[in-house]
Structure 1
Amino acid sequence: MGNTQVKTGDVAASDLRVVPIIISFVVAGFIGLFSETALNMALTNLIENFGIHETTAQWLTTGYLLTLGILVPVSGLIMQWFTTRQLFITALVASIIGTFIAAIAPSFSVLMIARVVQAIGTALLLPLMFNTILMIVPPHKRGRIMGIIGLVIMFAPAVGPTISGLILKSLSWHWIFWISLPLLIGALIFGWIFMQNVTNPTKPKIDILSIVLSTFGFGGIVFGFSSAGEGGGWGSATVIVSMIIGAVSLLFFTIRQLKMEQPVLNLRAFKYPMFTIGLLLVVVCMMVILSSMILLPLYLQTSLSLSTFAAGLLLLPGGIINGILSPVMGGLFDKFGPKWLVTIGIVIVTGAMFGFSTITIETSSAFIIALHIITMVGVSMVMMPAQTNGLNQLPRELYPDGTAIMNTLQQVAGAIGTAVAISILSSGAEGFMSTVEDKANPLNPLLAFTAGIQDAFVFAIIMGIVGLVVALFIKRVKVEHPM
């Protein structure tokens, strides 16, 4: 371990201000991830304002995730080239610029550009946050700290629709960003004062071909799924070509990384079985969560004809409970390990998805609230314990790569989950309308939309069952490497 036991980055371990560093990340991460779902509640308004189709509006979420899918894989390399402070400040500046452009956006295309700039900030911040926590927090305390980080990662997207619903009740969608802006500036100032460098940049050689292959690989896969979700259908030329380019690029990227002495993304992390299992569980959870996050606001506003504010309020209790439970589950993980937490959590999530697949235009609000709360309880039991257990198995030198791999595949899974859900929703609604005789009846489009929603939640059930099978193999990691 050399001198890393005495010194972390350019700061002696005893001089690390652990709490302010964590607070800096928590505040910045919260605002960054809040914007990931805050616009979901405004989709209906944006569709009307800009005269766009719902599958085009979906690109505000998918484009954001696509940018993360392209940038996060190279974050492991970036973290070895720049200091913690440099990356933190750059991430916040990108988020601030993106948020400002979004706040003044006069058209869909400008708003789309703003989302990409915002995503650049998040793409730098998320892996940096995980890597820093692994560097400054000893293994036996990581569950609780990762639980607090989980509070941010799950709580921010969960309350995003509620807060944006409240804003949209009396203000335009631009205010979602105007309200975020001073908070981001505050996070930048706080981080400027308290953030410390916790790693020594080693400046490894940059392999341009690997970066190109990674971009076409992850970008092609996400773009392919998103294009299918946008209404092109799975058989369209765009989808097929994107998928083939993505798959072939990823294959060559993987082969190249395994042959290189200093890979851009060290795939040897997959040699550690609990890391791989933890990763699979996180991927399943992200698919379920982000598909639900886009389906529920659309269902509440279309099928149940609720206002944005009312729809947002229905999703608030689940978000709050998830935020409260994340640190609690982290503490339970520190004590008892992941096995029972994760397995029971996946069963709970799958059960909730089964409930969502039965919703109709007569479903009560109380039923939706209950199902959403149950989903969020289950998610808090799975996400952070699986993630922490997986990262704990990695040796210290693989932390940047492990966090980059996990964050990359989370975002790719989120984009795939969102695209597949919207695609199933669209085809389900079209299938229903093709069977009705009286197409002029105003009730039929509502029934068709609801049928599409039910179909989309069946996809979430299947993902939950896959997660349950994976969860059966999880074991507690005994951390042998010291801090």
Structure 2
Amino acid sequence: MSRAHDAGRPPSPPLVAPPLPPGTGRLLFLLVAAAFVVILNETIMSVALPTLMAEFSVTAATAQWLTTGFMLTMAVVIPFTGWLLTRLPLRGVFVLAMSTFLAGNVLAGLAPVFPLLIAGRVVQAVGTALMMPLLMTTVMNVVPLARRGTTMGLISVVISVAPAAGPTVGGVILEHLTWRWMFGTVAPIALAALVAGSLWVRDVTERRRVPLDVASGLLSAAGFAALVFGLSSIGEAAAGHAPLPPALPIAVGAVLLAVFAARQLRLGDGALLDLRVLARPGYTVPLAVLLVGMMALFGTLILLPIYLQSVLGWDAQATGLALLPGGLVMAALGYLAGRAYDRVGPRPLVLPGAALAAAGLWGYALLLGPTTTAGLVVGLHVTLSAGLALLFGPLMTSALGALDRPQYPHGSALLSTLQQVSAATGTAVFITLLTVGTAAGLDAGADRAEATMQGVHTAFLTGAAIFLVAVVGTLRVRRPAAPDAPAPTPAGTPDVPPAG
């Protein structure tokens, strides 16, 4: 039978939460901690770009590949995770993810030349790309239905707070140590997670012998790489520094992905990435709202530091610390929202969450100026962070909960892939609008700070208007129905070792 939400039956009422199977808490703690560490590295280098430009004698466009290359690699690798999680045992995927991340971390930290630093970041990104689908698939398989909201709340902390905390952590390290310690600090933690995972992680997923469709892999890799590259180069093009028109790789990527999608639908159960999950409105609607929220988050993360440093004149450490309260609020409220989801469902959370996030974005658009106080900047960021915290966990839980058990790896992989695309889109849109607005201000005779302020207003105003789509979308989010048969848990089986 299909899900009740998609078939028209009313959603299931709140369930009584059973205890977690023995060993599950330890397993989830390890996976959440490991995912936080690896995803933190997606944005940790952003505050170090000026330092790296000076040390390696590279331009801003070249230095930006430390972030762009990371995102490109993740967009290429993540579609393969659905196939990997179907074919390989969970522990094998975890060990592959953490060992790859650790190897890239060491390579980047010791890199004597800039190309090796980029290579290290690419290897890091491969490990990072494997972690989020692995974590979400594990949760959907081992956590009872009535506790999934709480657990997915923790995951929302990972996907939102870790990127937001990256500039803060990077700024503090750079203030007191060299940029190499951004990798040196993480390496021991990654090594400890790798050792613990090789002992604790057990196979809790359903495995099937699905052959790898090479043509799908090539289409996916080329399509997502071209799309993310095109989106990431829009800002450079607006400033006149892009190596080629962004419309070209975006168009190529769109065509390749259209062919990829048609092939996946034709392959059915043998697809590299099963796109039939998009036929479930209970999955597609919350996913769409989530992606708009991710655009707002990453657009703000790239734009706000520019405003604080270029207009208000703050240094890197002060900029990072200004984002810290919002990150802490997002972490605490994300967990509480997950617990509340298990009792009340998504709507009482996502509706006020969308309103708060919209208020934060509109506040940025209308209230920021060349003399804005630190209190107002932090207050608006806390408001936006609180709203996104109420959105992310409930939306992920609702989306994945609308799928059947065999679809969890593909639903998780597609969600993670589209998150990377939406992050690149949000960054591209905000930076392009900033560049266009700044150029208009300079043409009108304003100085650099005044022109940048005009660009900031343009970007945030457009972002706030786009976010209204998410506000409307939350009206259609519902709690998914209970599955027709309860999913098996690892209690009493050798999949998860007993506690202690």
TM-score bracket, shorter-length normalisation: over 0.9
- Write the deviation string for residues 12-52 of structure 1: whole angstroms up to 9, x where unpaired: x9976211211111111111111112112223333443444
User: What is the one-letter code of the residue matched to 1:339?
Assistant: R
Q: CA 1:49 to 1:298, structure 2 compared with 1: closer, same or farther past 3 Å?
A: farther
Kept in 2, the 8 Å contact 1:62–1:419? The answer is no
Kept in 2, the 8 Å contact 1:58–1:230? The answer is no
- Partner of 1:205 in structure 2? 211
Q: Does 1:274 align with 2:282?
A: yes
- Partner of 1:435 in structure 2? 444
Kept in 2, the 8 Å contact 1:84–1:198? The answer is yes
- Partner of 1:411 in structure 2? 420
Distance 1:54 1:17 in 2: 48
Q: Does 1:21 align with 2:24?
A: no
Instruction: Give the alignment partner of residue 398 of structure 1, picking from 376, 397, 407.
Output: 407
Q: Does 1:57 align with 2:63?
A: yes
How far residue 400 of structure 1 moved from its aligned partner, in angstroms, is 0.7
- Write the deviation string for residues 416-435 of structure 1: whole angstroms up to 9, x where unpaired: 11122222222222221111
Q: CA 1:408 to 1:267, structure 2 compared with 1: closer, same or farther past 3 Å?
A: same
SS at match of 2:102: helix
Unaligned runs of 5+ in 2: 2-18, 488-500
TM-score between the two structures when normalised by the length of structure 2:
0.89
User: What is the one-letter code of the residue matched to 2:428?
Assistant: A
Coordinate RMSD, CA, aligned: 2.0
Q: CA 1:448 to 1:316, structure 2 compared with 1: closer, same or farther past 3 Å?
A: same
Distance 2:462 2:119 in 1: 31
Kept in 2, the 8 Å contact 1:95–1:119? The answer is yes
Instruction: Give the alignment partner of residue 379 of structure 1, picking from 381, 388, 402.
Output: 388
User: What is the one-letter code of the residue matched to 2:285?
Assistant: I
SS at match of 2:203: coil
Instruction: Give the alignment partner of residue 362 of structure 1, picking from 353, 366, 371.
Output: 371
Q: CA 1:55 to 1:469, structure 2 compared with 1: closer, same or farther past 3 Å?
A: farther
Distance 1:69 1:340 in 2: 33
SS at match of 2:204: coil
Kept in 1, the 8 Å contact 2:223–2:252? The answer is yes
Distance 1:372 1:51 in 2: 34
- Partner of 2:111 in structure 1? 105
- Partner of 2:273 in structure 1? 265
SS at match of 1:192: helix
More off after superposition, 138-147 vs 420-429:
420-429
- Partner of 2:497 in structure 1? none
- Partner of 2:142 in structure 1? 136
More off after superposition, 449-458 vs 177-186:
449-458
SS at match of 1:361: coil
Instruction: Give the alignment partner of residue 445 of structure 1, picking from 442, 445, 448.
Output: 448
User: What is the one-letter code of the residue matched to 1:402?
Assistant: G
Distance 2:396 2:390 in 1: 11
Distance 1:123 1:91 in 2: 8
Distance 1:118 1:364 in 2: 38
User: What is the one-letter code of the residue matched to 1:203?
Assistant: R
Kept in 2, the 8 Å contact 1:231–1:426? The answer is no
User: What is the one-letter code of the residue matched to 2:275?
Assistant: L
Distance 1:460 1:49 in 2: 35
Distance 1:185 1:89 in 2: 11
Distance 1:458 1:392 in 2: 34
How far residue 217 of structure 1 moved from its aligned partner, in angstroms, is 1.8
- Partner of 2:298 in structure 1? 290
Unaligned runs of 5+ in 1: 2-12, 438-443
Kept in 2, the 8 Å contact 1:62–1:418? The answer is no
Distance 2:377 2:412 in 1: 34
Distance 1:257 1:219 in 2: 18
How far residue 302 of structure 1 moved from its aligned partner, in angstroms, is 2.0
Instruction: Give the alignment partner of residue 470 of structure 2, picking from 442, 463, 467.
Output: 467
Instruction: Give the alignment partner of residue 251 of structure 1, picking from 258, 277, 281.
Output: 258
Q: CA 1:170 to 1:474, structure 2 compared with 1: closer, same or farther past 3 Å?
A: same
- Partner of 2:13 in structure 1? none
- Partner of 1:4 in structure 2? none
Distance 1:272 1:118 in 2: 33
How far residue 236 of structure 1 moved from its aligned partner, in angstroms, is 8.1
How far residue 411 of structure 1 moved from its aligned partner, in angstroms, is 0.7
Kept in 1, the 8 Å contact 2:234–2:246? The answer is yes
- Partner of 2:15 in structure 1? none
